Amino acid sequence: MTNARYNLDEPVAAIATALAPAALGIVRASGKNCIEKIAEIFSRPKALKEAGGNSIVYGWILDKNTKSEGENAEKIDEVLISVFRAPKSFTGEDMCEISCHGGVSVVNAVFETLLKNGFRQAEKGEFTFRAYINGKSDLTKAEAVREIIDSKTSDSRSHAAGRLSGSLFEEIDSIKTLVTDTLAAIEVDIEYPEDEETIADSFDPKMLENARDRLCELASSWKSEKIYQDGAKIVLAGKTNAGKSSLFNALLKEDRSIVSDIEGTTRDWIESWVSFDGIPARLFDTAGLRKTDDIIEAKGVELTEDLASNADLVLYLVDSSKGVLDDDKKFLEKNKNIPVIVVFNKMDLAGENEKSFEEFLAYEGIKDSVKISAKKGIGIGELTSLVKKTILNDSTVKSEKIGLGSERQKKSVEQALERVEHALEIAKDETYGLDAVVQDLEDSLDSLGEVTGEVTPDDVLGSIFSHFCVGK
């Protein structure tokens, strides 16, 4: 299998580290005659050509295009070249990774020298594409590479690392075995109908039922996995001086938002990424809700309501020192279709007001609430746990759980599940022959093959790898 965007006969190179001042920069190269071509611009060509796989060679990258008669080539940078011999490399081809000094001009100079000497600039994701084509990776692992790069929390990274290590591939492969064994047994029945003993034992629905249950669990995993990848949108809302900015700072563990006793301090929203026990979230601190003649503040209140209406979760803060006010009730009633956690803040100042909180929650039918003091750091841990449980809608989700890593994978798994379910249904219907079951099971195997990349159109491959960065 090939792809029009990638010419696998050409050696490619790319800058694999960020173009910013740093201690080190890395320029990657892979493909046919990769090591020999770099040796032509290396101060120790013989040492590089003779280097074994998984070894490092010291020397200088040279710009031989600047060499005049009787002069030595210009030295560009002192480098270490990591050598990887096919097939024991990331791409399955001969590879080199040139570690140079991390200045922007230095890294660019090394890269440009490779381009002048027979290398083509790699396309986005081309190194990972070559790894896939050369059998060093399946699509679940390839997509996990991008997930790890984009991960926002340690749990996000952990989930992606599980797929990179092969957990999803192994689960898909195990399910395929169940379907394949069932298919083989049915085909024996079709080929040898006169063998009564074989007919009696040919179709055992238990294996297909097992496959169905595991496919169903995989399909349902995407909802939580998508949250780990993309993050949730969480909005802090409440009346002025309810303590939204104090909670925002407490969750970020830094003073990002201005805290003041003066009402209307926050007139616009600010946002930042934060982790709720491993769940990445875009947290919004918003303008306090109140009627105001200030045009700018009024616009901020309008933006707060818009943000809340599109949030995955609203943390609505109630100032416990003032109790539940009519404006609090109006907001919660207006937004009753949005997931809300009522946060009773300033509980250290609640006094007699606390007695009315449970009655209020019961009357409004609010299930999720927590009592905190953002200023004193009380109850933040409990709030974090409740947010995670509410967002995932499943308090038993664990980081080691096998899950899907993309919408593409989910679609293919759902198609496989649909065919397996249909096979189980028609197997019970005497009006259908076993040939119909065979067709369903073959279709389900094709769908599962799309997940791992055994059966994947070129346009799908192009879409997957085009979302990678250059150099990966």
C-alpha 472/C-alpha 465 separation (Å) is 9
- By CB atoms closer than 10 A (0-12, 13-18, 19+), residue 22 is middle
Give 434-464 as a 3 state SS string: HHHHHHHHHHHHHHHHHHHCCCCCHHHHHHH
C-alpha distances out from residue 279 to 99, 154, 235, Å: 35, 9, 15
CA-based radius of gyration for the chain: 30
C-alpha 162/C-alpha 156 separation (Å) is 10
Please tell me the predicted confidence (pLDDT) of residue 461: 64
Tokens read off for 207: 């294996």
For 185-237, give the DSSP string.
Answer: HHHHHHH-TT-HHHHHHH--HHHHHHHHHHHHHHHHHHHHHHHHHH-EEEEEE
Residues of the chain with pLDDT under 50: 1, 70, 196-201, 258-267, 395-399
Locus of tokens 């034992």: 201
CA dihedral 399, 400, 403, 405 (to 10 degrees): 70
Please tell me the predicted confidence (pLDDT) of residue 463: 64
Tokens read off for 447: 């769908």
Q: Is the dihedral angle over the CA atoms 291, 293, 295, 296 positive or is it negative?
A: negative
Locus of tokens 């006793």: 261
Locus of tokens 């019970």: 428
Residues 6+ apart with CB under 8 A from 464: 125, 139, 142, 143, 408
Please tell me the predicted confidence (pLDDT) of residue 27: 97
C-alpha 269/C-alpha 258 separation (Å) is 12
User: Model's pTM, two decimal places?
Assistant: 0.76
Buried b / exposed e over 314-339, threshold 16 CB at 10 Å, is bbbbbbbbebbeeebeebbeebeebb
Q: What is the DSSP letter of 344?
A: E
Tens digit of pLDDT for each residue in 185-218? 887 666 655 554 443 445 678 999 999 999 999 9
Please tell me the predicted confidence (pLDDT) of residue 226: 92
Tokens read off for 346: 């300033």
C-alpha 426/C-alpha 423 separation (Å) is 5
Buried b / exposed e over 420-443, threshold 16 CB at 10 Å, is bbbbbebbeeeeeebeebbebbeb
